Amino acid sequence: MNARLVSFGHLEIEGEMYRKDVVVDGGTIRKRDKAPSKALNNKWGHTPLTAAEEIPWGGQRLIIGTGAHGDLPIWPDVREEAVRRGIEIVALPTEEACKLVKDLDADDVYAVFHVTC
């Protein structure tokens, strides 16, 4: 899957430009719905990734692009749910996360990409 952080707030996946956080669920790309996590926004200054969101749990590995500067908070319940499901979490700045999916078939990509901070 071809994905790259073009610049702060601009993510390109398979030739399509995204300016909002996205979720890749076995090749299906959708906007990240932050609403279930918004209540924790004031504590962090960012909306953290929580297990209340629709996390793409379909694979053996969940890749989390934590933003241009790696500042996306990941709530502990995400890691706890991953352990419960036997899924490895790889969380790193979005530019690096994009490199991880480069050699993967789109159907094998389960990821959350944060496009800012």
SS3 17: strand
> What pLDDT was estimated at residue 15?
96
What span, in angstroms and rounded, lies between the C-alpha atoms of 66 and 86?
21
Structurally, how many domains does the chain consist of? 1
Find the CATH number of the domain harbouring 47: 3.40.1230.10
- pLDDT confidence band for 100 (50 / 70 / 90): very high
Q: 87, 62 in Cβ contact below 8 A?
A: yes
> What pLDDT was estimated at residue 41?
80
pLDDT, tens digit, for every residue of 54-89? 999 999 999 999 999 999 999 999 999 999 999 999
